[in-house]
Every structure is written in structure tokens, then in C-alpha cells.
Structure 1
Amino acid sequence: MEKKTSITFLEYLDKIKNPDEAQYNYAEQIKEVKIVNNFISKFSGVVFVADFQTGTYPFMGEGIKDVLGHPLEAIQEGGMNFIAYYLQVPKLIDNKCMEEQFKLYSNLKDKPLADIRFKMNAPITDGERKTRYFSQHIKFILKSNDGHPLGFYGYCTKVPIAEEKKVTQHIEFLNKENNEWQVYSSLEFYLEVDENKLLSKREIEILKWISEGLSSEAIATKLYISVHTVRTHRKNMLKRTNSTNSADLIRYGIEHKLI
């Protein structure tokens, strides 16, 4: 897998698309999604199978219009490029989501793709040019000889527009010891929000003290608040800025001239 990460989903799709390559038989995945099709449709959801090589959907449930706001025929004709065109995911966010996926591929080792799943919430423009949100849960379909997934399958459901408009991507591994899914990566991007205003005044104040090397206890004493409050602010800041530790958080503060 090439380690270049400054790439969007569409660029990635174009890179690996090869309609002339021997086609993979998606019969097993189609059979699997059909089993849950009737169940998920009762919850404003729809199942599908996607093929990276051709950029098409070998199977998609008829309830897709209720979820994405576009007729099944249009999606079948336009394929994955059609959906990507209407997705309201800024290029910068798309880059970061793809970067996490590249990290995953490079660290797979002996973990099979069947033990990995992706969850994503995103906005899309429907046929009436209105914004709606959907949640997508997918698994990749094995790997080709060059290390690229051949496609993916799963389901998507319609979700209400929340007060905080955002794009999320969560990657999870199946822990076979306890048969539970564990988070590998979690990203959240707030739309229509100025990056420089993502943190509150109190959080920026705490961030400045973090950059000075102060502990949560020391910051609590400085600001006359509880240690629990400081730790809660830390946790919220890490989540909103997609930072994994204090060093990432400080880097974010410097990049956005907050400290």
C-alpha cells in the first residue's frame, strides 16, 4: 500500500479502479446483506455491496431513496462517483479520513479485514437539494494482490440533523477473546464551525496552561475549579480536535494561533 495520504476518496477510487481486471464474485456478500435487508428496511435503512474495481454497486436495496434522497436507478447508473458528488464532506476532512484508513492498512499485520468495521456519519445533498444526514456501517471485502480492498458491504440508515453538524469516522477491531468491538480510531469534524472557535475561552485557557507543562491538578488550583472539570475539558478538547494526546493538542493550539 502506498503511504501517500493526501488523497480523497474519489482520487483513491480512480487510483485502484480497473474494470478490465477479472471480476470478483460478490455472491457471498450479496447473500449476507439480503438476509438483513428486510430487517434494516424497517428502521429507514438499506443494505448494499460496493465494488471499487468498477466504481459500481453490485447490489443495493430499494429503500435507498428514503435514506439518501436519490432514486435507486440514478445511483445504479452513476455508481460511487454519483454518491461522492453529492456528499458534503470537505476535501480536508476527506483527506484526514483517508489518512486514518492508510494507517490502518499499514498496521493490519495478521488481522483479517473481516474483523474490522467502519462507521461514518455524513451529510449529503438529496434530489431536492436539501441536506440530510446518514449513518453508514461497512466492512471491506478481502484484499487484492496489490494490497487494496476490492470493495465493501454493509448498510446505511437515515439520521436526524443534530444541533452539531459534523462528519464522523470510527474504525473498530473485533477482540475475539471477549467477542467485543474495540475502537481503533475515532474522528469528529464539526461543520460550519470556525476551527479557531472550536474551543471555548475556558478550554483555550486550560490549553495554555497545558502548553506550560502544568498537570490537571495544578491547572485546577490556578483556575479555582475541580480537577474533574479540568479533566473533562481535556477530554472534550482531545475529541473535538481529533488529538490523541497533549502534544497533539498543543500542536493544534499553535497551528490555530490559540497559544
Structure 2
Amino acid sequence: MLSNNKTSWSGYLQFLKEVAVRDEPVIINNFNDFIHACGYVHIFFGQVIPLFYILDYRTGRYIKISGNFAGYTAETFVNEGIAHTLEIYQRDHLKLFDKTIFPQRLSILAEISSAEHQNYIFSYNACVRAKDGSYQHYLQRSCFLSDQHGNPIFSMGIIANLNGEFKRNQVIQTVEKIDPTGLNPSTVIFRQSYQVGEVERSFSAREIEVLKYMSEGLSSKQIAHKMFLSEHTVVNHRRHMQDKSSLPNANALICYAVKSGLI
């Protein structure tokens, strides 16, 4: 039975540490067969995906990660574990996953036999800060292997970069039930969209003024002169706006501001 003591992702990880779930035997027979049953090639991936991982929730460590991600090496994730993921997670996306998305996943799993957990795929899009300081959006698809009490112990999934046009401040989560045989199509049992913050309202009057001058092609130094500010302050305003909007650069920020009517 899933514990009622955990209401968030971070709370769940702490719960596993406190109740010593790791002392209970979790038997994985023919793990390769398990991966194949979840559609390792034909169902789960569906196409060539650049990164595959297995995460042990009990230890917060990645057992396997198949490649580099967001400019960080696979070894960084393996050595630093989930602490590194938390560090680079865009703060609004992390808050949404921690307080809303993960608790919803636990509620869904609580209604499903633990033996069947591996046959449900959870998908959502999120954002991290890449090593070069830009923000990178990605799609994650994962399934869980749980203990006899229904507590998810292992998360196995794929991560793929999201390119092209999509709503950067909208997160969509879906849950699909798959047929382990691969003979029948998957069935979507849950779908919900979320807004990641009220970006337009979060911009200050000063930031919007900086944004207007940016759209006119002015440099940070020129904007500082016009606004009687230091260049450092202007640079900070620009950085804060990128943090709030999860946009990778000034051009994307200006484009977003024009489309949303901010300037």
C-alpha cells in the first residue's frame, strides 16, 4: 500500500529513506525481459531516442544513463545522482513536478496492481538549465518498477530534446496503458495540461522597459545609459527574464514578448 506520508516527489524520496524500503527484497527476474515487455524497442521508444536511463529512487542514483544530456556528461549524472538533476531543473518546472505531477502519478499508481505498474508509461515535457547557461526543453517518457506495497522503486525512461514550435510555458502530462505483447495500441488513460507560472505578470515594469529597448536593438550598455542604470543591472534584468520565461536567448525573449503583447 502506498504511504499517505508523502505528498510530493521530494517527500516520497525522503519517505523511502526513512522507512528503509531498501531493506525489503525487490526481485527483478529477467530484467532484460522486463525492458522488452515494456516496449524497449518497439513500444516504449517507438523511434531512435538519444538517451535512456534507469533511476533507483531508494538511493537517488542513476544505475544507467546511456549518453550525455544538456551539455553534461553521463558520468556527471551517475556520480552526482538526482542531486545534479535537481540543481539544473528550471525552478518553476521543478515546483510543478514536485508538488503536482508526481503526486498525481502516485495517486494513479495506487489504483493499479503493483505488478502492472511497468505497463503504464508516464510522459511529460520539462525544462533544464544546460551547461552553457541556456534552457533546454525535453520530453521524458518513463515507467516504474514497484515493490509489493506499490511503492515505485525504479524509474526507467527516455529523454529526448524538444525542437520546433511548442508552448514553452505549457506542460502536458499523459499516462498510457500499453499491451506488453505489442499486439494492441496503447490507451491514454490520463491527460492534463499545466501552465508554468504567469510569465507576463511576473515581469516587473523595469524588466519590460529593458525588453522594449532590447527589441529596438540596443545593447545592454546603451540601455543602461538610457535608463540611468549600471550595465550590470541591465544584464541582471535580462537574465531574470530568461529565467522566468525559460527562453534560451534574447532573440527568443523578444519574439515571445511580441507574440504575447508585452511590447
Q: TM-score by structure 1 length?
A: 0.60
Aligned to 1:128, the other structure's residue is in SS state coil
Q: Deviations over 1:5-58 (max 9, x none)?
A: 642x2222222145963675767259948x75xxx7x95611111111111111
| Structure 1 equivalent of residue 12 of structure 2 | 12
Q: Does 1:145 align with 2:148?
A: yes
- Letter in structure 2 aligned against 1:157: A
Counterpart of 1:125 in structure 2 is 129
- Deviation readout 1:130-178 (Å, 9 max, x if unpaired): 100111111111x213320111212111112645112222111136897
Residue type of the alignment partner of 1:81: A
Unaligned runs of 5+ in 1: 197-259
Counterpart of 2:60 (choices 52, 55, 58) is 55
Deviations 1:66-89 (A, max 9, x none): xx3211121111112211221121
Q: CA deviation at 1:191?
A: 2.9
1:173 aligned residue (165, 173, 177): 177
Partner of residue 157, structure 2:
154
| Alpha-carbon separation, structure 2, partners of 1:108 and 1:131 | 35
Deviations 1:87-135 (A, max 9, x none): 1214245311123112212211487112211112101111112100111
- 1:97-112 → structure 2 map (5 Å cutoff): 97-109=101-113, 112=116
Q: State the one-letter code of the partner of 1:123.
A: C
Q: Which residue of 2 aligns with 1:2?
A: 3
The DSSP-based 3-state class of the residue aligned with 2:23 is coil
- Structure 2: gaps of 5 or more residues: 202-263
Task: State the alpha-carbon separation in 1 of the partners of residues 128 and 101 from structure 2.
Answer: 17
Q: For residue 185 of structure 1, what is the aligned residue in structure 2?
A: 190
Q: Is the 8 A contact 1:134 1:158 kept in 2?
A: yes
Aligned in 2, Cα 1:125/1:174: closer, same or farther, shift over 3 Å?
A: same
Secondary structure of residue in 2 paired with 1:180: coil
| Residue 138 of structure 2 corresponds to residue 134 of structure 1 | yes
Q: In 1, Cα distance between the equivalents of 2:11 and 2:174?
A: 21
Amino acid at match of 1:95: K
1:46 and 1:16 mapped to 2: Cα distance?
26
Offset of residue 187 of structure 1: 2.2
Provide closer, same or farther for how the CA distance between residues 69 and 101 of structure 1 changes in structure 2, counting only shifts above 3 A.
same
Alignment correspondent of 1:84: 86
- Root-mean-square deviation (CA, aligned residues, Å) is 3.5
Distance 1:73 1:111, change over 3 A: closer
Q: Are 1:132 and 1:160, in contact at CA under 8 Å, matched by a contact in 2?
A: no
Query: Residue in 2 aligned with 1:243?
Result: none
Q: Distance in 2 between matches of 1:110 and 1:75?
A: 28
For residues 11 and 134 of structure 1, what CA distance do their matches in structure 2 show? 24
- Give percent identity, aligned residues only: 16
Task: From the superposition, tell whether residues 50 and 10 of structure 1 become closer, same or farther in structure 2 (CA, over 3 Å).
Answer: same
